[in-house]
Each structure stands twice: as C-alpha cells, then as structure tokens.
Chain A
Amino acid sequence: MHSQPETTALLGAVAAFLREVCVPALTGREAFLAKVAANCVDIAVREARDGPAATAAETTILQSLLASPETSLEALRATLCKEITAGVRDETDPALLEALLSIVAARVRIEQPGYASLERAPRA
C-alpha cells in the first residue's frame, strides 16, 4: 500500500513552487540559487524514476563486459577499475568504450538531460 501522493509528485510540487513562486519573487543571486534548487529537485525526481533501471542496466553491462557472475555493482566497478589501472584494458578496446558510454550516458540523462554532448552518445 503506497502513501499518496507519490514521492515524485511531492518533489514535482516543490520544483514547481521554486520555479513559479520563488524565482519570480527573488532577484539576483537568490533568484539564481532558487533555479539551482529547482534543478536539484528535478534530478531527485529523475533519480527516483530512472535510477533503479540505470543501476540494473549498469550491472548487466559490466557482468557481460567482464564475463562475471558477480551481482554487486560496487564489486564489478572495482574489478573494472583494477583492470584499467593495470593496463589490461585501455581506450583502444571498442567494447570497453561502448559499455562505459552507455553507462555514463544513462547517468547524464538523469543528472543533466539537457547536456549537449548527449547528442553524440549512443541512444538510450
């Protein structure tokens, strides 16, 4: 049984309040910070909505790249970091670049969906 309204709806109301009430009522630096605050709430909304799927996808991608049955994302990342620092894998490996681009682009779509470089990244 979920409480109502949903968490993302609560956050959406906060973002709207910041943008529609606070920003017009403030000036200069305070108005700028209110916009920044609204953007932070937007990130939290996208994190709640898309974060779990992005984490699951990252786990699957790293399992496949490393040919590992490991289920801890932390452990998978640590293994890949070690292989890169040891020189086992480098930027000439297309599979590595493709995997990391896919993982990182998903993070940027949550954290900064308007970031221009996303146009050059593989589609979600």
Chain B
Amino acid sequence: MASDYDDVLAGLHRLAGRLGWPEPRALQRLSGGASQETWAFVAGERALILRRAPRGVPVTTSTQGIGLVSEAAVIEAAGAAGAPAPAVASLLAEQDGLGPGYIMDRLEGETLARRIQRDAAFAEARDGFAQACGAAAAAIHATPLACLPTLPEADAAAQLDLYEAAYRGYGAGRPAFELGFAALRRRVPAPIPARLAHGDFRLGNLMVARHGLAAVLDWELAHRGDPAEDLGWICTPSWRFGAIDKPVGGIAEVGPMLEAYWAAGGDRRVTAERVRFWTLFGSLKWGVMCLTMAKLFESGVDPSVERAAIGRRASETELDVLLMLKGLL
C-alpha cells in the first residue's frame, strides 16, 4: 500500500511538472475497484481526482468497461452537451508513469445512497430529484454521437442476448432467471434511435449537493443504446437501497422524472412502459452480475470476501423479478 502511495505521488509530481501545475499534495486513496482506482489530491487551490487503471496496469480481462481514455472523452462530450459531468483537467501521459487514466475536478457533494435518501441536508435535493434525473438523462442522451469515441452499441434485444448467454455460460439452472428472461423476450420494445447511454445511471454514481444533482460519475459502462435504459436502471429495486416504495432511487416517482425528461428534449417514445421493461431487465442484469461475482470468487480470480458476499445477492434479484412479474413491485 505504502509503495503504491509513493508511486502515485511521484507520478503526480511528474504530471504537475509537465503541465506547469502547483505541487500536488494531500493525496489520499478513495477507492480501488477491479477496473479502476480513484485518488484525491490538491494542486494549488484546485481539488482534483485521479482515475487510473489498478496499479497503473491496463485491465485486459474486463468484458464491459470502455477504458479510461474513452471514458474521459465521453465525459467531455457529454459535459459539452450540457450533462452534469465533472470537468476533465488532463489525460495522463505515458511519461507520467501512472498508466492510462485522467485527472478531473473534485466536486462537492455526497454519493452515499442512504445519506442522500435520509439526511436533512439533502431535503431540497430530494424534492427536485425526479426532475433533476430526468433533465440529466435527457442531456446525456442529447450528446451528438459524432462527438463520441468508438463505443459498444447494444439495444434491448442485444443486451438480452448478452446477459442470457452469460447466465447460460454459468450453467445455473435457476427457474426464476429462466422466467425473467422468457418474460423479457416477450416484452422487448420496438427499437428507437440509439443514443449515448451512461450505462450505470443510479444512486451511488450520482453526486448530490445540498441544492440538487451536482454530477453524474462513473462513465466506464457508457455505450450506444436505448435511451430508456438509463431511466429504467435508476429504478431497479436493488438501487432503491431499501426504500422500495419510491421507484426513482428510493426517493421519487417515475412520472415527474419522465415529464422532466420529455420537457428537456428527451425522446417521447421513452414511455413509462418502456422504462418498466428496463427496470425488469435491470434486476435480471444485476442478478447475472452477481452470478459473475460468484464465479470470480469460486474460480479464485478474486477470492475476496467482498466478491463472495455480492455473489449471494443473486437471490434478491430473483425476488424482485418475481414481484415485478406479479405486479407487487
């Protein structure tokens, strides 16, 4: 850990020298995932975030992420289109010795779901949450495709194929999953023009400040797809963090989110029914992701207790799929 810290600090010194920035200080590690590391630091008066590959080594086994260089390009394009996204300060260069990644502004706000849902400090943000999510999604989806790097494209049918293939690959004969896939197959919506989809638009990836939504974070799953996907994902029961009565992140209702989405120029074919399809899909998708975690753990690729625990969350998604099919959720 200590040498990791020293390596990052040395790399940031090289970067600051290259860009003529003040000396970096107050470095602290925020998180380390399987696909990226996040560090906070300060240069002069500017609070910044470093996002880089784990230990600076590009991830080659990732099946989904678009890579940090594309991620930075997507954030810049979406931000230019008016989406609430953090400003990218600089891409990392090879001579920085930090591996691929980028530096972005560190924004003030909260990402912890339970605090956003409950703390008195966020009461005003909660009041406007549905509208803020609708407007932010509309802005993301309005990003001109010509301004984007090459991204994967997958509509509803393609994503069903993808996740069902993963499920079958695990050899898991789980009746609730089978029923979920079969029900979704019968409900696939007619395709509408593909837009930039954030791909992980949910509580946890939304930076919320006292007055409202400050920024949408974690763009590594961005792709071209059905614009209703993002609005369905934020309603997926697992992302309501216990407040299941309020579909939009456990905070708000779908109706006002859609009204705001349309008012901000979002495609009117993104209807409540289309969003419901993607919410049901969201539970099944998260379920397959939990099965993936279980496999990573069992195969020894990632023997961590965290991976093991998430593996056991597949049953929550089965429950949600069944409750949604029965009209109880």
Contact = CB atoms under 8 A, between A and B. Distances in A.
Do A and B actually bind?
yes
Contacts of A29: 31-32
Contact of B306 (A33, A43, A112): A33
A39 B178 CA distance: 29
Interface residues of B, number: 34
Interface string B293-329: 0000000000011101100110110111011011011
B243 A77 contact: no
A43 B315 CA distance: 13
B309 A36 contact: yes
Interface string A90-124: 11000011001101110110011001111111000
Contacts of B237: 117
Contacts of A74: 173
B123 to A, nearest CB: 22
A85 interface: yes
Contacts of A26: none
Contacts of A96: 179
A103 B325 CA distance: 15
B315 A112 contact: yes
Contacts of B191: none
Place the interface of chain A in its size category.
35 or more
Interface of A: 29, 33, 36-37, 39-40, 43, 74, 77-78, 80-81, 84-85, 87, 90-91, 96-97, 100-101, 103-105, 107-108, 111-112, 115-121
Interface of B: 31-32, 173-176, 178-179, 182-183, 186, 237, 240, 242-244, 304-306, 308-309, 312-313, 315-316, 318-320, 322-323, 325-326, 328-329
17 contacts: A33-B305, A36-B306, A37-B305, A78-B173, A81-B173, A81-B175, A97-B325, A100-B176, A100-B322, A103-B175, A111-B315, A116-B243, A116-B244, A117-B237, A117-B316, A120-B323, A121-B319
